[in-house]
Homo-oligomer: A and B are copies of this chain.
Amino acid sequence: MSGFEFSCPLPIRDYPRVLLAHGGGGRLMHELISRLFRAAFDNPVLAAAHDGAAFDAPAARLAFTTDSYVVRPLFFPGGDIGSRAVYGTVNDLAMCGARALHLSAGFILEEGLEMQALWRLAQSMAAAARRAGVRIVTGDTKVVERGKADGLYVNTAGIGAIEHRLEILPASVRPGDALLVSGDLGRHGIAVLAARAELALESAVESDCAPLGEAVQALLAQGIEIHCLRDLTRGGLAAAVVEVAEASRTGARLSESALAVCEPVRSACELLGFDPLHLACEGRFAAWVAPRDAGRALQVLSAHAPEGGAAIIGEVTAPSRPRVVIRGPFATERVLDMPSGEQLPRIC
The answer, yes or no, to whether A277 is at the interface (CB within 8 Å) is: no
Given the contacts A50-B95, A96-B51, A147-B147, A70 and B30 also touching, CB distance less than 8 Å: no
The answer, yes or no, to whether A76 is at the interface (CB within 8 Å) is: no
The answer, yes or no, to whether A108 is at the interface (CB within 8 Å) is: yes
* Residue-wise interface mask of A (152-186) relative to B, using a CB-CB cutoff of 8 A (1 in contact, 0 not): 01010111101000000111000000000000000
Interface size on A, residues (CB 8 A): 88
The answer, yes or no, to whether A293 is at the interface (CB within 8 Å) is: no
Mostly, the A contact residues are: mixed
The answer, yes or no, to whether A251 is at the interface (CB within 8 Å) is: no
Asked if A20 and B342 sit within 8 Å, CB to CB, the answer is yes
Question: Closest B-chain residue to A71, C-beta based?
Answer: B142
Chain B interface: which of A4-12, A60-68, A201-209, A297-305?
A60-68
Which B residues are in CB contact (< 8 Å) with A148? 147-150
**Cα of A54 to Cα of B170 in the assembled complex, Å:** 13
Given the contacts A66-B106, A150-B144, A342 and B51 also touching, CB distance less than 8 Å: no
* Residue-wise interface mask of A (224-264) relative to B, using a CB-CB cutoff of 8 A (1 in contact, 0 not): 00000111011110010001000100000000000000000
The answer, yes or no, to whether A19 is at the interface (CB within 8 Å) is: yes
Question: Closest B-chain residue to A22, C-beta based?
Answer: B342
Question: Closest B-chain residue to A231, C-beta based?
Answer: B51
Which B residues are in CB contact (< 8 Å) with A236? 25
Asked if A24 and B341 sit within 8 Å, CB to CB, the answer is yes
Which B residues are in CB contact (< 8 Å) with A51? 65, 92, 95-96, 229-231
Asked if A153 and B54 sit within 8 Å, CB to CB, the answer is no
Which B residues are in CB contact (< 8 Å) with A108? 68, 70, 108, 153
The answer, yes or no, to whether A337 is at the interface (CB within 8 Å) is: yes
Name the distance in Å between A210's Cβ and chain B's nearest Cβ.
16
Q: A157's contact among B21, B23, B157, by CB below 8 Å, is which?
A: B157
Name the distance in Å between A287's Cβ and chain B's nearest Cβ.
13
Given the contacts A19-B342, A157-B106, A341-B24, A56 and B60 also touching, CB distance less than 8 Å: yes
Query: Which residues between 17 and 45 of chain A lie within 8 Å of chain B, taking CB atoms?
Result: 19-21, 23-30
Which B residues are in CB contact (< 8 Å) with A214? none
Interface pairs (10), CB distance under 8 Å: A24-B234, A25-B239, A49-B170, A52-B95, A53-B65, A56-B61, A64-B137, A67-B140, A145-B346, A159-B159
Task: Enumerate chain A interface residues (CB-CB to B < 8 A).
Answer: 19-21, 23-30, 48-57, 59-70, 92-93, 95-96, 98, 102, 104-108, 137-140, 142-145, 147-150, 153, 155, 157-160, 162, 169-171, 229-231, 233-236, 239, 243, 247, 280, 337-346, 348
